Amino acid sequence: MLLWIGANTGYDVDLPHPLIKTVTQQELERIYSNGAGTENHLHGFYDRKEDIIYLPDTWKQYDAWSQGVLLHELIHYVQDQNQAKFQCTNEMEKEAWPLQKQYLLEYHGYVWDYDELWFAVISNCSYH
């Protein structure tokens, strides 16, 4: 996946592999929210402070969507390791979502038709 990211972006992907941890959905939400807990139904996230990708323990190695989630979080890892400049964390999604969509289609024939309006909202720095 890192090689695919490198071939489809200008990022250096000659990087050590990040630590990947699977945790319960409840733990995923708790870690993401710094203990506050959420009901976001996260698919996963990259912790920039710890260089850890967290995935739910329901993640499946051979499932197309699960593979896309891992790729998405690896994109954030690569962005971070390359010290890519963004005005806010949300702006990182402008790159990650389209790449995830491309990967899912190329490797799995999976068509991810996400809502373009929602994408515009969540990848914008004014969204909290």
Q: What value, to the nearest 5°, has the Cα angle with vertex 20 and ends 47 and 114? A: 70
Q: 77-115 burial, b if ≥16 CB within 10 A, otherwise e?
A: bbbbbeebeeeeebebbebbbebbbebbeeeeeeebeee
Q: Within 10 Å of residue 70's Cβ, how many Cβ atoms?
A: 20
- For the chain, which residues make up each domain, given as ranges? 2-122
The tokens of 109 are what? 């024939």
pLDDT of residue 39: 66
pLDDT of residue 38: 66
Question: pLDDT tens digits, residue range 30-59?
Answer: 999 887 666 668 999 999 999 999 999 999
